[in-house]
Amino acid sequence: MTDTNELTVRLRAEADLPRCVEALAGVQDADRYPVDRPADPAGWLTPHGMTDAWVVVAGADVVGHMALTPPGPALATTAGLPERSLLAVARLFVSPRARRRGVAALLLDRAIGPAQRAGRDRSWRSRRPRVPPSGCTSARAGATSAPPPPTGRPPTAGSPACGCTSPLRLP
């Protein structure tokens, strides 16, 4: 297994997308994240409105990915903050072979600077609200949970790899 010292975090380049798609396939096979395999994985990794995306690489392999996107009105309402003051974490995943190495924490740490420079609050959203936040990467990185929005719908089943509720506020 790759040592944390051998990991490199950098902005995602277009040339990284094929390796990101490979890593995503491994995550989907292991965790069912995303629950449904996207027909266009490269497009899925580039959500509408994406402001930035990062990868963690170990050698030539992409072992982690994260994007920042606009939060949308539901997250802003839940956070009690205007949309313009938030960015949302999207498409965050870590390859199964690189887990427990701090990859997600490296990605989350990398997102804080651009969010602050853009004048944004540091609030993040997880798509897997059914697992308590105590063991997830975001909680280990210092995030705390806020109550989910009152949608009247039960939470969607998701991967056990992470389990923070939405939204998260980093210290």
Tens digit of each residue's pLDDT (9 = 90 or more) over 109-141: 887 776 677 666 655 554 444 333 334 545 554
Q: What is the DSSP secondary-structure string of 45-94? A: TS-TT--EEEEEEETTEEEEEEEEE--HHHHHHHHTS-GGGB-EEEEEEE
User: Cα dist. 9→5, 31, 33, 79, 159 in Å?
Assistant: 11, 23, 22, 28, 24
CATH class of 4-124: alpha beta
Q: Where are the domains of the chain?
A: 4-124
Residue 82 has pLDDT above 70, yes or no: yes
Overall pTM > 0.75: no
How confident is the model over 58-84, as a mean pLDDT?
88
pLDDT digits (tens, 9 = 90+) for 95-111: 999 999 999 999 988 87
Query: Per-residue pLDDT tens for 7-37?
Result: 999 999 999 999 999 999 999 999 999 999 9
Residue 20: strand, helix, or coil: helix
Provide the pLDDT for residue 118.
67
